[in-house]
Amino acid sequence: MDENPLRLNEVRLLLLIQARRLMRQLFDGVAFMHERNIVHRDLKLENILCIDDERIVISDFGFAKELEDGERLRDLCGTPGYLAPETLRCQMYEDSDGYSFEVDEWALGVIMYTLLAGYAPFYHRRQLMMMRMIQEGKYEFRKEQWANVTTEAKELISDLLRVEASKRLSASECLKHPWMGGLQPPAAEVVEQKKVAKEVKPKRDLRKLFKQAIIWVRFFLRLAKYKYIKSVVDRDALRKRPFRDRDIRHEAEAAMFSIYGHWVNRGYYYSRDMLFANKPRPKYYKRDPDASVTSLASLTSNASTVSHSSG
């Protein structure tokens, strides 16, 4: 056995021949456990290890339990996406009958659905809605993913994902299902898939293809004219705000510097806005304290002479 076996959830989408081979081993292993009164209660893709391309083993028996004859369980354990409806009912209703080996068959139905479709049958971003889908057994076979899957495989999944546990197929009964009856050679499997694909051939939406073609043509035309986009200018927009265009702004500033550059005070009061002013900013000089005193004295002497002359 490899030291790091591949988990089955790491395998994306399997061919029908591979899915049938893996499901046969799972049905056989679960039937072996149930014959010995052992219920796993946590069957999921993460707990199925791939030894190689042909063999798998079931792991993680932490929630497994050996049941007595007629014993029913009521405790909640397992992974939400793989829980059976009767397991959820035990947590909602006190008078629930409990659950038994049938929860493993439900999980096998979820695993088989995921292997063939590539996605889980019960999933919602809100866990409460997902639980409601499980209780109602609400799932669907979408045409895109299930067009090449045989009707027998869909019937087997439907028999496993029955809400009523008493009507659900057991693992030993699944081994006798027509879909499991004998492995076909790979060539025959390919021929079968081609026949199904011919019978269910998806229609092409010509209108959608035409719209996509128009979008691509427009894109390539704009890409071809990209070098001319810079020369296309809206005259009305330039009249209102000419300096939004970078080239015009640079040319105007260069012309203003060449004409009015001598007006700009490049000292403390330097401002780029002075280029566009009608007159230069006045220059400020520091006053001499002695000069201010003498001027004040002269003003007082002049005022006294004016008063004497008037008197």
Residues annotated as catalytic are: 42
Task: Please report the pLDDT score of residue 244 as a whole number.
Answer: 73
Is residue 50 within 8 Å of 7, Cβ to Cβ? yes
Q: Are 53 and 158 in contact (CB under 8 A)?
A: no
Report the pLDDT value the prediction gives residue 255, as an integer from 0 to 100. 76
Are 270 and 264 spatial neighbours (Cβ–Cβ below 8 Å)?
yes
Specify the pLDDT at position 191: 54
Domains of the chain: 6-185 (1.10.510.10), 228-303 (no CATH)
pLDDT above 90 coverage of the chain, percent: 15
pLDDT in tens, 197-218: 555 556 678 888 888 899 999 8
CA angle 184, 188, 192 (to 5 degrees): 105
- Mean pLDDT value of segment 111-117: 90
Q: What is the pTM of this model?
A: 0.56
Mind listing the pLDDT tens digit for each residue in 119-163?
A: 888 888 888 888 888 988 888 888 888 888 888 889 999 999 999
CA dihedral of 293, 295, 301, 302, whole degrees rounded to 10 = -160
Of 141-150, 235-244, 252-261, least confident by mean pLDDT is 252-261
Report pLDDT for 185.
45
Query: Chain centroid to CA 16: how far?
Result: 28
Both structure tokens of 48: 């199925």
Contact 108, 27 (CB under 8 A): yes
